A = this chain, B = another copy of it.
Amino acid sequence: MGSSQIRSELFRSQVLQGNALGDPSERLVHVVLPAGYADGDERFPVVFLLAGFTGTGASFLKYEAWEEDILQRMDRLVSSGLVRPMILILPDAMTRFGGSQYINSAATGRYQDYLLELVDWADHSLRTLPQREARAIAGKSSGGFGALRMAMDHPEAFGLVGDHSGDKYFEYCYFPELRRFHRAVEAQQDLDGLLRDPHRARPHDQAFRDVMELAAMSSCYSPHPDSPFGFDFPIDLATGAVRPEVWERWREHDPLVRLSSAVEPLRSLHLLYLDCGAQDEFYLNVGMRLFHEALEAERIPHQYLEHDGGHFGLNHRLDHSLEAISRAVG
């Protein structure tokens, strides 16, 4: 029955032009087309798949021993009848610091708007079913965060959402890391140089990654045009103390905090699929439980499952969201 095909195109984003970090506004977008796409004129549902922090669309295509890549996964799911043929869009929303969280920020760029640009582009360039009822967005970790956030902000664009182990309850998934982030900052000889050009740093050890994650999340959650790097750190770099007013700005991005102002958008979804591992290394399962409880309280329909995994090696969970999306599209 043939197999999926990858099509990779250079997409020229309008909204990323002149972005604050000077990251490219031209990005490679990878599209997974169903088997037989070239031979027919059928239209297909679309799923935007968002990679986690430090990943891009290309990450779904990479070789990993004993794992399927996304094409093999789709071929198996479709041939088994569990999932209908669909188009997958794998965007690149990388920033210099490791990721955009798929939101707009003055300190990074308008990455949520960029996803909307890609929706337009997909509807014009590909044989999509161009309605929100047939357009899904899903991801894991930061990708799950970005998918859920899109649903809250732009319910008109996406009618179905899959959130695997997405960032939530910042008190647990970020706050406990701040003290370690600070120690990593203290260990740097040249913090400015590192933030200006992380690619030149060696080695890419845990302290490097901690500084990057701190910079990335700060640039997404607490932009501040007048500050040296365009954003505020939630910690005082000298003492290590938390800066409560900056931390409060981070929290405003917590899906648990935003939920109350996004009840209608979420209620309008055709699918809200959520899962998380009970052994999640960032304890995201607590946030997921609280979000589930809040959805229940608001009577927002959703599917929720706590599986027995951790935060890593969860590619196989995509089977579940893709199947749920396929079924919900009808």
Interface residues of A (CB under 8 A from B): 54-56, 58-59, 62-63, 65-68, 94, 98, 169, 171-172, 175-180, 182-183, 198-199, 201-205, 212, 239-242, 279, 283, 285-286, 289-290, 293, 309-310, 313, 316
Smallest CB-CB separation from A198: which chain B residue?
Answer: B66
B171 and A242 contacting across the interface, CB-CB below 8 Å: yes
A204: chain B residues at CB < 8 Å are 66-67, 313
Least Cβ–Cβ distance between A169 and chain B, in angstroms: 7
A56 to B313, alpha carbons, bound, how many Å?
A: 19
A7 to B62, alpha carbons, bound, how many Å?
A: 16
Contact with A63, one of B59, B171, B175, B183 (Cβ below 8 angstroms): B59
B62 and A62 contacting across the interface, CB-CB below 8 Å: yes
B290 and A241 contacting across the interface, CB-CB below 8 Å: yes
A176 to B239, alpha carbons, bound, how many Å?
A: 18
A309: chain B residues at CB < 8 Å are 203
A289: chain B residues at CB < 8 Å are 239-241
A286 and B201 contacting across the interface, CB-CB below 8 Å: no
Q: What are 19 A-B pairs with beta-carbon distances under 8 A? A: A56-B63, A58-B63, A59-B62, A65-B98, A66-B198, A66-B201, A66-B204, A67-B204, A68-B199, A169-B241, A172-B240, A176-B179, A179-B286, A182-B283, A203-B309, A203-B310, A203-B313, A239-B286, A241-B286
A199 to B65, alpha carbons, bound, how many Å?
A: 9
A59: chain B residues at CB < 8 Å are 62-63
Other A-B contacts than A172-B178, A176-B176, 14 sampled, CB-CB below 8 A, are: A55-B63, A55-B65, A58-B63, A59-B63, A62-B62, A67-B199, A171-B242, A172-B179, A179-B283, A182-B286, A204-B313, A239-B289, A239-B290, A241-B290
